[in-house]
Structure 1
Amino acid sequence: MENNEINSARIFVYEIIKEAFFCEPTYEFIDTIKQFITNVKESFDDSDSKANLIVDSFKSVFNELSVEDIQTEYNNLFVDPFSNNLINKNASYYFENKNFGKTLVEIRDFLKELNLARDLNYYEPEDSISFVSDLMIYLINKNGVYIFDEQVDFFNRFVEPFFSLFSEKIKTNEGAVFYACMGLLIDYFLDLERSYLNESITT
């Protein structure tokens, strides 16, 4: 694939991750996931067991759950403060065991180096999984050119370690069904991202 095609594919997956955890999923978002899973099935070799697991897991979920069920799951996992299955969406929680920790400060410093700041209308902190995904999208798109140093730095310092811990928390949560599939997708995507960024550095 050409760089611009890979770039578009990477952005698309980060957009999925961003939207999946930002707000209650809409019918349109679930349709996007269904089409994405169809495309994954058509694009990857049958011998790719991880891709097949993701496809089969999502298909099973869509056979069992309605959009309303998935919306209820979202609120149970990420909104309801009294839920026994509540999952924190902020990186500081996973690295410092508290919200608004050192990781949040480091990401804000990273933003300052880029002369960026969080939009005040964006209600989540800069270390939330949705904001981190959005920032990675910005880095990929920055000025319409590839700037790998910043992408690799941000991926290694924040994206990969945070997303890995977050994914594990989702996959082991007894209340997660659709979002357990999202955890599988995140794991698979991290492997692809790591390989792609490493190869880009060495070539």
Structure 2
Amino acid sequence: MQSQLVINDSKSEERIFIYNLLSEAFGKKPEKEFLNKFKIDGLFEFLDEYIGDKESVNRLELTVDELLEDNIKIKNLADIYENMFVVPAAIKFIPPVASSFTCIDEEKKSGDDSRLTLVDELSFFYDKYNVKFIGGEKDNFVFHIDHISAIFNFMVLLIDLNNKNQCGCKLDMPAVMHNDESVFFNKFILSWTDSFFSEVIKSDALFYSQISKIASIFLRSESIILTPV
């Protein structure tokens, strides 16, 4: 029996679903179990309606169907993942980490040693919400706190906390402080992901190119919701 996508009318739940999907897509080697999530009844219709780019969604759907027809293709996609996002020595390596696409660390190296690096600032943000990331091997990639998967996961936390706070729910963690959702998005997502996704879109890896196109469109819509105040 095919699973069915169930999302209520809350915009927050829709955003959380997409961030989680993207986090998993770039957070570990693709396996059949993950690709089957795209076969949840109604998922592509939901993406089409939310993203507003039917052509891109249809292309992704076709690619997923082709992958699921052949386990060898899934294995090849896992190899592509390794070469694109894990192995720095690989010719086609595109680092999925914020510090590779921002100039903050380079600016510190060039002069002002007192200036915090992007990773330093991320660490302070995570600490504020009692979130701990431990380096090492995790989910098939060498874990960095500025990895796109970690950043998207933290964004999910902020959206969820903000939503619960607005609903008056009792929280086990601190409420989102001083517009942190918008600050975090603009500083640690919007500042570099367009460059990252542009590089992936130009690659010949269809699955990652297509999901990057959808991610790029999604984050543009997020930038409207989360305009700095």
Q: TM-score, normalised by structure 1?
A: 0.80
Alignment counterpart, residue 86 of structure 2, candidates 58, 63, 79: 79
**CA distance change for structure 1 residues 42 and 12 in 2, over 3 Å: closer, same or farther?**
closer
Alignment counterpart, residue 56 of structure 1, candidates 33, 37, 58: 58
Alignment counterpart, residue 186 of structure 2, candidates 140, 144, 156: 156
5+ unaligned residues in a row in structure 1: which ranges?
none
| Number of residue equivalences | 194
Instruction: Give the Cα separation in 2 of the matches to 1:26 and 1:19.
Output: 11
**CA distance change for structure 1 residues 193 and 3 in 2, over 3 Å: closer, same or farther?**
farther
Instruction: Give the Cα separation in 1 of the matches to 2:60 and 2:222.
Output: 21
Q: Which amino acid aligns with 1:12?
A: F
Contact 2:35 2:64 in 1 (8 A): no
| 2:217 corresponds to 1:188 | yes
Q: In the TM superposition, what whole-angstrom CA distance separates every residue of 1:150-185 from its partner, at most 9, and x where no partner exists?
A: 1111011111122212111111224x2210011111
Instruction: Give the Cα separation in 1 of the matches to 2:160 and 2:80.
Output: 32
- The correspondence of residues 26-175 of structure 1 with structure 2, limited to 5 A, is 26-35=31-40, 38-41=42-45, 44=48, 50-65=52-67, 66-96=73-103, 102-119=117-134, 124-142=143-161, 144-146=164-166, 147=176, 149-174=179-204
Contact 1:40 1:51 in 2 (8 A): no
Structure 2 residue matching 1:75: 3-state secondary structure: helix
Structure number, greater radius of gyration: 2
Q: TM-score, normalised by structure 2?
A: 0.71
Q: CA RMSD in A?
A: 3.2
Q: In the TM superposition, what whole-angstrom CA distance separates every residue of 1:64-102 from its partner, at most 9, and x where no partner exists?
A: 443223222212212234421111011001113979x82
Fraction of identical pairs, as percent: 23
Instruction: Give the Cα separation in 2 of the matches to 1:195 and 1:43.
Output: 18
Higher helix share: 1
5+ unaligned residues in a row in structure 2: which ranges?
1-6, 68-72, 107-115, 167-175
